[in-house]
Amino acid sequence: MRISRETLQQLIINKLTKAGLTHDHATTVADVLAYADARGIHSHGAVRVEYYAERISKGGTNRSPLFEYEQTGPCSAILHADNAAGQVAAKMGMEKAIDMARENGVAVVGVRRMGHSGAISYFVNQAAQAGFIGLSVCQSDPMVVPFGGAEVYYGTNPLAFAAPGENDDIITFDMATTVQAWGKILDARSRQENIPDSWAVDKHGAPTTDPFAVNALLPAAGPKGYGLMMMIDVLSGILMNLPFGRQVSSMYENLSKGRELGQLHIVINPEFFSSSNLFRKHISETMRELNAIKPAPGFSQVYYPGQNLDINEKLSAKDGIDIVDDIYEYLVSDAIYLRSYETNSPFAQ
């Protein structure tokens, strides 16, 4: 069914506050989730609410975190997040990075000991909306076989980038370092749809189209995705003395305990390198030039990165956001959660 973005946000806020999150924190989480659904990234939208509500209610998300901001140099800092809701911590960390980059040109801010933060393009868009370049990377559950391996080690370890053009132009790139994010599997499960056989393997290591049979994900482009997920694990985990590799906590194990995850934001102020106005002009030119490229057979147009999601967001503002009926029924129910996600398996049903 289709509902407005405002209605979806309010339903999520209601559910998360019922689970015990403060209204301010619930509002931030709801904004990030509705942003994802509005852009068609349903893997990181309302499908996550029931899991979040269970973790909040069991104490695995700190309802009253004590944030500590530690500036470690003129262009570096760590936000100690005390296992707060990931969206709240990541947004706060990006706000700090923007302020630092405004003054010093560059900012590198690590967010330490946080929960799952959802669609991380939301946070780099914060930087772009302020006129800066944003880059963010974060850890994820171990559920990916390394290239050539038969056992999981790294997570989907996403990265996101955004840069501002003129006026409201923003070019955005957001990807998991796997062929597809785990949330895409969750979305396929909620819609009772098969997945391509290139996304994941079953318990025997064979490719599967059944989202319920997934036992490991595959790195994007083989060794290239594998290398990227290693780099992100170093930057968002090892760099901040956090659990890394197989030590990273599973999303579905012990929901009464904090995730202890890390995320790293890098913000660059173009004014310190050339001219902000010239930079933004050239970004917009890039976007227009990409759109003007002759499309290959089978394609109607070349889109710049993130443009298809921008189109989705504009359409959802007019037509509403498509929400799976089961998810809507949960959101309007009185239950904090209908079933437990605490399965001790990264591939929770």
Catalytically annotated residues: 116
Q: Which two tokens stand for residue 145?
A: 């076989």
Distance CA 25, CA 21 (A): 6
Are 103 and 86 in contact by the 8 Å Cβ rule? The answer is no
Distance CA 184, CA 198 (A): 13
Which phi-psi region, left, alpha or beta, contains residue 167 (left: φ > 0; alpha: ψ -120 to 50)? Answer: left
Which residues are CB-neighbours of 190 under 8 A, at least 6 positions away?
A: 47, 324, 326, 327
Beta strands in 74-218 (DSSP E): 76-84, 106-114, 133-138, 159-164, 170-175, 200-201, 216-217
Q: Which two tokens stand for residue 53?
A: 């509500």
Closest C-alpha to 105, from 116, 97, 94 = 97
CA dihedral 309, 314, 315, 317 (to 10 degrees): 130
Q: Residue 173 carries which DSSP code?
A: E
Q: Residue 303 carries which DSSP code?
A: P
β-bridge mates for residue 172, sequence order? 162
Q: Which two tokens stand for residue 276?
A: 């902000």
Which phi-psi region, left, alpha or beta, contains residue 37 (left: φ > 0; alpha: ψ -120 to 50)? Answer: alpha
User: Around Cβ 14, how many Cβ atoms within 10 Å?
Assistant: 14
Show the DSSP H helices in the chain as ranges. 5-19, 23-38, 49-58, 86-104, 121-129, 182-190, 223-236, 276-292, 307-319, 325-332
Please, what sign has the CA dihedral across residues 65, 246, 345, 183? positive
